[in-house]
Structure 1
Amino acid sequence: MAGFWDITNAVSRTLEDAQSGVEEMLFEPVIRLGVTGLSRAGKTVFITSLVANLLDRGRMPQLRAAAEGRILTAFLQPQPNDAVARFAFEDHLAALTGPEPYWPEGTRSISQLRLSLRVRPSGMLSGLRGPRTIHLDIVDYPGEWLLDLPLLEQSYGNWAAETIALARTDSRIEHARPWLDVLDTADGAAVLDEREAQRQAEAFRGYLRTAREAGLSAVAPGRFLMPGDLEGSPALTFAPLPEPVKSRGNSLHATFARRFDAYKRIVVKPFYRDHFAKIDRQIVLVDALGAINAGPQAVEDLRQAMAAILMSFRPGRNSWLSSVLGRRVEKILFAATKADHLHHSQHAALAAITEELLDDARRRADFRGAKTEAMSIAALRATIEETVRHDGAALDCVRGRLLDGGREVAMYAGDLPKDPGALLVPARQGAAKWLDAEYGIMKFAPPRVALAPDEGPPHIRLDRATEFLIGDRLA
């Protein structure tokens, strides 16, 4: 009976999606923009600044429809999905632009916002067509959830073996040792003891938490660090175990294998089916500077994590059949955030490093028909540029207000190499630290700014990013 209902629900969803797709094509088009990135990449700030700058477009000259005056108005509407939390745009904007601005809380779960744009068409036939409304549905979700999607193709045994092997590598062993000590005491063939199951799961969760705090990126399963209402549930009470020689159906190993499958069924599949599979434009925010500051091992870990994430996308062009067969991601933008931590003379190097960091996955997406691009951005510019003299030399610096204490300082982060290989090669080779240079970043507070009536928050290349992501749909 369960299988019958699964089939019935799947057919119903397909028919609903097909009807929605036809309505969009004939009446008011919808652009579904996914915004993701790993922890501290700046998703919340990006969405807040994007929406504010589309509502008041004075700082968006590189968005062609805005520069040409074809966006007549923009306004927020109730989101179409009543089962998903609304992105708290007004609260986040108040946090960033108030008298004492502060960074809002980061993404902890999925949320959505609909921004509608009244657009006058372009081209030779523009005089024959009136303005139309285009809806931009922004879907915000943690990048850690994307790291779960490859689990759908893995068995518990394969996942456990790979996870344990990764934890024993040089870049992980320091963070994993407390968990591995607990793992070494486990008897996977023993009859399930729930207290032992919880001990193993908590030690594993502690390893993932420590790895993320150290700047590492590959921390799956993602819900172990963002459990929400699944806190303490059996679906989140498992950990990797080696395959025992013999295992009974009620053993610890067999129980963990069942809970791993339950995690995929309860957590991963609904996210893919209900949200991820419906996205047609995607921006992946990358804290490349944070990884470079943390060292070669963090850079290599970020490269591997992003490759795993990109395997989850279904790149290609959409057609009228997409609403039936499943949508494809038509454009993917890889955006290196916090460009305001560097002088503009280094932004090209940061973009090149990001592009090379994602080279394998990016070429795979290009081959399958999606358009991709890499650029460096700052969704909210927290610094200004200045040149200072140090030991007789001129240094291109940025000046901003420190997050801790509010004191204004000038920072020189170090020159990024023009050749990305100078960073990526030692990272791939397992270097413990950078040999010829040190890179540092400071944590800046949001700037105190007085916004003009027609201007959104200051940024770096947010307009270019928006033109790449949705500019063609505003023509």
Structure 2
Amino acid sequence: MPLSFSDIVEEARLSARALWDYGDHFFNPTVRLGVTGLSRAGKTVFITALIHGLIRGGRFPVFEPFATGRIARARLEPQPDDAVPRFDYENHVRALIEDLRWPNSTVDISELRLVIDYQRHDGAERTLTLDIVDYPGEWLLDLPLLTKSYEQWSAESLALSREGPRVPLAAPWHAQLKTLKPEAREDEQATLASARLFTEYLRACRDERFAMSLLPPGRFLMPGSLAGSPALTFAPLELAAQGPPPDGSLWAMMVRRYEAYKDVVVRPFFRDHFSRLDRQIVLVDALAAFNAGPEALRDLEAALAGVLDCFRMGRSTLLSNLFRPRIDRILFAATKADHLHQSSHDRLEAILRRTVFKAAARAQYAGAMIDVVALSAVRATREAQVQRGRDKLPSIIGTPAADGSNGGETFDGNTEVATFPGDLPADPEKLFKNNNAFRGLSSAPAEKTDFRFLRFRPPRLDRKEAGGPLLPHIRLDRALQFLIGDKLQ
């Protein structure tokens, strides 16, 4: 697709910003780490645990500069972007340790600056600035819209809504859609109704029963201050005609608002934040997709492929740093590994690797490094062997949350429960084909076999520990080693 004049202007602006950033980073080495993930993947918990562990001196044996004592200290400093909200680290730590509740989810972009004083292998004292950028994964799925016309997006959205479990969820919206004539005069009330029903359909798809991931436009589910604005008031239309829409028509109105959405929401995010990232971690709640079935897993696969297509990937060079920054390392992390016994962690990684395989191959061809890890930024369970009949089952023990998020089961929020997670299949393809490959968790000693995985409360820690308690984790240090270990040599 040839570049338009506006595209050329945008590229020039991006290059100018890159040149400015490079000049600043030349004197103050900086890594901009993007942290994203689709809904309920654990972005806030990941960032909080990462910062807490570095500041407090966490247990990170795989993070080489930390384990060998080359990191002298890590400290927070004021973030550089005055127009971006600060990541509320202090309140999130308090929620985890004192309130024993998970922090609120990411609904907007935020940043935090962490400065790391370390010693290089040659003994020289150095400082690395880590700017952590937290943003909803749903925003990432909007970036492909920049290269699509309204007509393309509309046709794709309608086709997707007519597949698998989406069909009944889209029924109310489709019923209203049949009453609309694209060539008819623009109608504000009809547009409002269509946008509302379309948004309700997207919200229903995101419900944990279906766990769909491919749900652009992302701001429809997280409107923030733009709620009710014309830029968020449009929806797909059934278009039979080709060519430009008639002036003053409903079709023309939808096109205008779709383009406004790109101008007001998508382009500023890409220009001011996304295009400036150096490293990226994408958190994935794979267990939710497992429980919802093969359709949800295939939908997740398509969403992650779309995510990788958005990145400007490749080996970082002087020329690229000056004019066209690239992301040279991307980590995909299957979160909530503590909901499974460690014997299944390798299989969880294999399933996620299979899910991102096609997209990852393209990234590696471009020169970027890709890795996959199963982790838990804050471990809420411990492992045990539970006797059931003659069998000893590899189980996990934790305190289920009492917030109504456990599939209708009632818990008091204080009593520990042992659960047998079951075994993930050795062959990842079984999850993409078989609805019964993963039957969910069962509560011990109850005999239920269709029990979905529990949502556990944060662990109760020893607050008398010198300097305050450390947050337990699974492989958070491995993630750190991949993401920034090379920058601390």
TM-score (norm 2): 0.90
1:117 aligns with 2:113: no
Aligned mates of 1:262, 1:121 — CA distance in 2 = 49
Aligned mates of 2:309, 2:416 — CA distance in 1 = 42
Q: Which one-letter code corresponds to 1:301 in the other structure? A: D
2:227 maps to: 231
Match of 1:387, SS? strand
Give ranges in structure 1 of 5+ residues lacking alignment.
none
Contact 1:346 1:416 in 2 (8 A): yes
Deviations 1:109-163 (A, max 9, x none): 00000000001111xxx24x3x111100000000000110111111111110111
1:465 maps to: 479
1:18 aligns with 2:3: no
Contact 1:56 1:453 in 2 (8 A): no
1:162 aligns with 2:170: no
Identity among equivalent pairs (%): 48
Aligned mates of 1:49, 1:435 — CA distance in 2 = 32
1:421 aligns with 2:429: yes
Aligned mates of 1:470, 1:312 — CA distance in 2 = 22
> Structure 1 residues 277 and 160, CA, compared in 2 at 3 Å: closer, same or farther?
same
1:77 maps to: 77
1:350 aligns with 2:362: no
1:153 maps to: 147
Aligned mates of 1:453, 1:422 — CA distance in 2 = 48
Q: How does 1:90-105 map to 2 (within 5 A)?
A: 90-98=90-98, 100-105=99-104
Q: How far is 1:249 from its partner? A: 1.1
1:260 maps to: 258
Contact 1:189 1:244 in 2 (8 A): no
Q: How far is 1:13 from its partner? A: 6.3
> Structure 1 residues 301 and 5, CA, compared in 2 at 3 Å: closer, same or farther?
closer
Aligned-CA RMSD value: 2.0
Aligned mates of 1:261, 1:16 — CA distance in 2 = 24
> Structure 1 residues 24 and 161, CA, compared in 2 at 3 Å: closer, same or farther?
same
1:319 aligns with 2:317: yes
Contact 2:55 2:73 in 1 (8 A): yes
2:56 maps to: 56
Match of 1:395, SS? strand
Aligned mates of 1:6, 1:288 — CA distance in 2 = 36
Query: Out of 394, 410, 416, which is 2:392 matched to?
Result: 394
Deviations 1:301-339 (A, max 9, x none): 111111111110111122222343221111000100000
Contact 1:296 1:434 in 2 (8 A): no
Aligned mates of 1:437, 1:73 — CA distance in 2 = 45
> Structure 1 residues 185 and 37, CA, compared in 2 at 3 Å: closer, same or farther?
same
1:222 maps to: 218
Deviations 1:42-65 (A, max 9, x none): 000000000001112231111100
1:447 maps to: 459
Match of 2:363, SS? helix
Give ranges in structure 2 of 5+ residues lacking alignment.
403-411, 442-451
TM-score (norm 1): 0.93
1:107 maps to: 106
Query: Out of 183, 186, 189, which is 1:189 matched to?
Result: 183
Query: Out of 377, 380, 384, which is 2:378 matched to?
Result: 380
Q: Which one-letter code corresponds to 1:224 in the other structure? A: F
Aligned mates of 1:203, 1:261 — CA distance in 2 = 20
Deviations 1:165-210 (A, max 9, x none): 1101123102111111111111111101111110010000000010
Match of 1:86, SS? coil
Aligned mates of 2:14, 2:359 — CA distance in 1 = 31
Match of 2:39, SS? coil
> Structure 1 residues 314 and 436, CA, compared in 2 at 3 Å: closer, same or farther?
closer
Aligned mates of 2:28, 2:144 — CA distance in 1 = 34
Q: Which one-letter code corresponds to 1:208 in the other structure? A: L
Q: How far is 1:251 from its partner? A: 0.8
Contact 1:362 1:372 in 2 (8 A): yes
Deviations 1:290-309 (A, max 9, x none): 11011111111111111111
Q: How far is 1:244 from its partner? A: 4.6
Q: How does 1:252-331 map to 2 (within 5 A)?
A: 252-331=250-329
Q: How far is 1:346 from its partner? A: 0.7
1:177 maps to: 171
Q: How far is 1:9 from its partner? A: 8.9
Match of 2:25, SS? helix
Deviations 1:362-404 (A, max 9, x none): 1111111010111100000000101101121111111101111
Aligned mates of 1:117, 1:470 — CA distance in 2 = 11
Aligned mates of 1:185, 1:354 — CA distance in 2 = 42
Match of 1:165, SS? helix
Aligned mates of 1:473, 1:458 — CA distance in 2 = 25
Aligned mates of 1:225, 1:16 — CA distance in 2 = 30
Q: How does 1:364-375 map to 2 (within 5 A)?
A: 364-375=362-373
Contact 1:37 1:142 in 2 (8 A): yes
Q: How does 1:201-216 map to 2 (within 5 A)?
A: 201-213=195-207, 214-216=210-212
